[in-house]
């Protein structure tokens, strides 16, 4: 019985970090719904900032994009977009930054966010 509990605990803990193992090809498909507002292939901004090279970049630093004041405050407290910050943002942007200009409600399915993050990591 103890063995089953430990195995179960291991599965729960490993699943909470699922974003580390996303499928970039699936994420690219998910990103298509973001393309109306964000660029992925160059640094041009649309309604939202370019997402080219977002992983590892400090939030609020896309050249030429006008961020909201609430987002600027958030960005000042975050070193860089990484798996954890992207996961939280993509899950529910409005709960991360009250007053954000981003109107997207978020991606509620963990695996879909993991896939999108894996795709964003491929963008350089």
3-state secondary structure of 48: coil
Write out pLDDT tens, residues 45-85: 999 999 999 999 999 999 999 999 999 999 999 999 999 99
| pLDDT for 107 beyond 80 | yes
> How many C-beta neighbours within 10 Å does residue 57 have?
15
Phi-psi region of 66 (alpha: psi -120 to 50; beta: other; left: phi over 0): beta
List, in order of start, the domains of the chain with CATH numbers.
Answer: 2-120 (1.10.760.10)
Rounded to two decimals, the pTM is 0.83
3-state secondary structure of 6: helix
């Amino acid at each position: 019985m103890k063995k089953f509990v430990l195995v179960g605990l291991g599965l729960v803990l490993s699943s909470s970090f699922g974003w580390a193992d996303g499928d970039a090809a699936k994420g690219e498909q998910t990103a298509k719904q973001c393309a109306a507002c964000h660029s992925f292939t160059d640094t041009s901004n649309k309604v939202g900032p370019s997402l080219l090279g977002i992983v590892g970049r400090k939030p609020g630093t896309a050249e030429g994009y006008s961020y909201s004041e609430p987002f600027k405050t958030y960005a000042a407290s975050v070193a860089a977009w990484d798996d954890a910050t992207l996961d939280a943002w993509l899950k529910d942007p409005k709960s991360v930054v009250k007053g954000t200009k981003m109107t997207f409600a978020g991606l509620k399915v963990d695996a879909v966010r993991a896939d999108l993050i894996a795709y964003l990591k491929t963008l350089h």
